[in-house]
Amino acid sequence: MGKIKFGILGGGGDSLIGILHRVASSMFDKYELVGGVFNVDYQENLKFAEQLDLSASRVYENLDTLIQKELALPESERMQVISILTPNFLHFPMAKSLLENGFNVICEKPMTTTFAEAEILHQTLQKAKTVFAVTYTYTGYPMIRQMKHMIKNGDLGEIQKVDAQYYQGWINPIIHDIEKRSSTWRLNPEKSGISCCIGDIGTHAFDMLEYVSGLKVESILADLNYLYSDNKMDIDGTVLLRCSNNVKGVICASQIATGEENSFVVKVYGKKAGLKWEQENPNYLYLMQDGKPLQVLKPGHEYNSDLSLDGTKLPPGHPEGIFDSMGNIYKGVAKAILKQPYNAAEFPTMIDGVRGMSFIEKAVESHTKGNVWVDIHNY
């Protein structure tokens, strides 16, 4: 009863990933953030926690202290789940400690920096028997869930081809500058593991294809691209796939696809039909059938599966961005209340409300009088 007690490691300050996890955890009124270790610098840590109105007593210097102190609390007060949002190389040791101490864990991807670590973590979980989630975020989209459902349901018939493209262009200004490419942590194997492009986005494509299709990728042939001989990390690559049921496929990934933002496209073709989804327009799922009109499925409609509908909060036609749009209005109001500087365009005021009422009444009046011109009140 009430909300799940929730802690976070990392994600302090303006960290995007921190914002993402805080907002996401608040979305269904299921989690209450009670503390964590947001920053390696303890003072920053405390300062950030104060902004969030968290009790300083639950803001810890490091993970060890957190574990020790939380375990000392009565179970009803103790953090039930902890999200790991720290740099990649810390995922493994932190997750391992948390599991060994009986915590549920939500871990950002990549889960570890090597497969060997991943195997150890898996063994640890076998003993811990807690809940462990890796945040391949895109699998939570309502239309991806619908895609998975339809494939499982046999709507495509036997799968005969899988294809994922994940194209970005962000590394372009870095990779062509010898200074920048030698100093970016993303291209430093010591900090980022053995792969940049495949490790960061190819792995999303891999997980997604397995998620939606229910197939397992069994073997692969990869051609990676480093562009410069002094660059040690792939920044582009194509991977041929052989999956269970003799299905072939391909993953195309790139961080040098200049001007692409986050073009992640997933296609699965079966004997009876095909399905296509694009991350940049995530509310559209395209169903292609031989000789029939293309169908475009959207979230929130009754024709979707329970799995998809469970992940939709809004009625059809309202993209999720409306939360953010309303969030921006709340942000503007907050500034006004706190007497901080703000732009008058940040939220609609009573004048907008008054003029709106005038518009409605005058529209009815114009119509009733026989479609004549009438004046809006001057406010």
Give the shortest CB-89-to-its own copies separation in angstroms: 13
Edge to edge, the sheet with strand 132-134 lists 31-37, 4-9, 81-84, 104-107, 132-134
86, 203, 215, 266: residue in contact with its own copies (rule CB under 8 A) = 203
101, 136, 186, 188: residue in contact with its own copies (rule CB under 8 A) = 136
Q: Is residue 63 close enough to count as binding its own copies by CB under 8 A?
A: no
> CA 93, CA 44: separation in Å to the nearest integer?
23
Q: What does the per-residue mask of binding to its own copies show for 80-119, with x meaning CB under 8 A? A: xx----------------------x-xx-xxxx-xx-xxx
Closest Cα partner for 226 from 175, 173, 170?
175
- The number of residues that bind its own copies (CB under 8 A) is 195
Q: Is residue 327 close enough to count as binding its own copies by CB under 8 A?
A: yes
Give the shortest CB-68-to-its own copies separation in angstroms: 22
Give the shortest CB-28-to-its own copies separation in angstroms: 5
Closest Cα partner for 283 from 163, 151, 161, 147?
147
Nearer to its own copies, 62 or 330 (CB): 330
Token output for 76? 């009803």
DSSP 143-182: HHHHHHHHHHTTTT-SEEEEEEEEE--TTHHHHT-HHHHH
Nearer to its own copies, 40 or 194 (CB): 194
Tell me if residue 213 falls in helix, strand or coil. helix
Which residues are within 8 A (CB) of 161 and not within 5 positions of it... i.e. 6 or more apart?
A: 247, 248, 249, 267, 268, 269
DSSP 80-130: -EEEE-S-HHHHHHHHHHHHHTT-EEEEPSSS-SSHHHHHHHHHHHHHH--
> CA 11, CA 106: separation in Å to the nearest integer?
13
Nearer to its own copies, 65 or 245 (CB): 245
Nearer to its own copies, 27 or 65 (CB): 27
Q: What does the per-residue mask of binding to its own copies show for 146-185, with x meaning CB under 8 A? A: --xx------x---xx-x---xxxx-xx--x---------
Tell me the window of 35-43, 65-73, 129-137, 178-186 that interacts with its own copies (CB under 8 A). 129-137
Q: Is residue 132 close enough to count as binding its own copies by CB under 8 A?
A: yes
Tell me the window of 38-46, 61-69, 71-79, 288-296 that interacts with its own copies (CB under 8 A). 288-296
63, 67, 217, 266: residue in contact with its own copies (rule CB under 8 A) = 217
Burial 116-151 (b: 16+ CB within 10 A, else e): ebbeebeebbeebebebebbbebbebbbbbbbbbbb
Q: Is residue 357 close enough to count as binding its own copies by CB under 8 A?
A: yes
Question: What phi-psi label fits residue 27: left (phi over 0), alpha (psi between -120 and 50 degrees) or beta?
Answer: alpha
Tell me if residue 141 falls in helix, strand or coil. coil
Nearer to its own copies, 40 or 322 (CB): 322
142, 213, 266, 277: residue in contact with its own copies (rule CB under 8 A) = 142
The interface with its own copies within residues 3-62 (CB under 8 A) comprises 3-4, 16, 19-32, 50-53
Q: Is residue 309 close enough to count as binding its own copies by CB under 8 A?
A: no
Give the shortest CB-60-to-its own copies separation in angstroms: 19
Phi and psi (nearest 5°) for 133? Answer: -125, 140
Nearer to its own copies, 9 or 256 (CB): 256
